[in-house]
Amino acid sequence: MVTNTSFQQWLDGYGAGWVKQDPKQTLAMFSDDASYMYTPFHKIMRGKDEIRRYVEKGAVGLQQDIEFSCEILAVTERYGIARGIHLLEGTGGNS
């Protein structure tokens, strides 16, 4: 069961893994049957293997000087929805 407290703890762990660019820590936050969508405009990733591919190949190492914060928007018994606020500097001259 998802509660505000358990969801905030999950978000804190997820954010710490992202800031540290530590895919093992980030992936430890997901169950094998998790669903994940990093923007409302991206397709939903289903299952830990699909999320792992994104984290290991598409997310780690592309950003630096990351600051992570979030706001919980809704919690149900099964789901949590949050808005992430991320400040980062990308590599290759993008910021």
Successive 10-residue mean pLDDT values, the chain, 95 residues: 94 89 88 88 92 79 80 93 77 44
Please report the beta strands in the chain, taking only residues with DSSP state E, as ranges in sequence order: 35-36, 45-46, 63-75, 80-90
For domain 4-90, say whether CATH 3.40.50.150 is its number.
no
Please give the Cα distance from 47 to 36 (Å, whole number): 8
68 neighbors 90 (Cβ within 8 angstroms): no
The residues near 52 (Cβ < 8 Å, ≥ 6 apart) are 23, 27
Provide the 10 A C-beta neighbour count for residue 4.
Answer: 11
- What is the per-residue pLDDT for 95? 39
Question: Is the model's pTM score more than 0.95?
Answer: no
pLDDT digits (tens, 9 = 90+) for 13-33: 988 988 888 888 889 999 999
Q: Where along the chain do its domains lie?
A: 4-90
Q: What is the pLDDT of residue 47?
A: 95
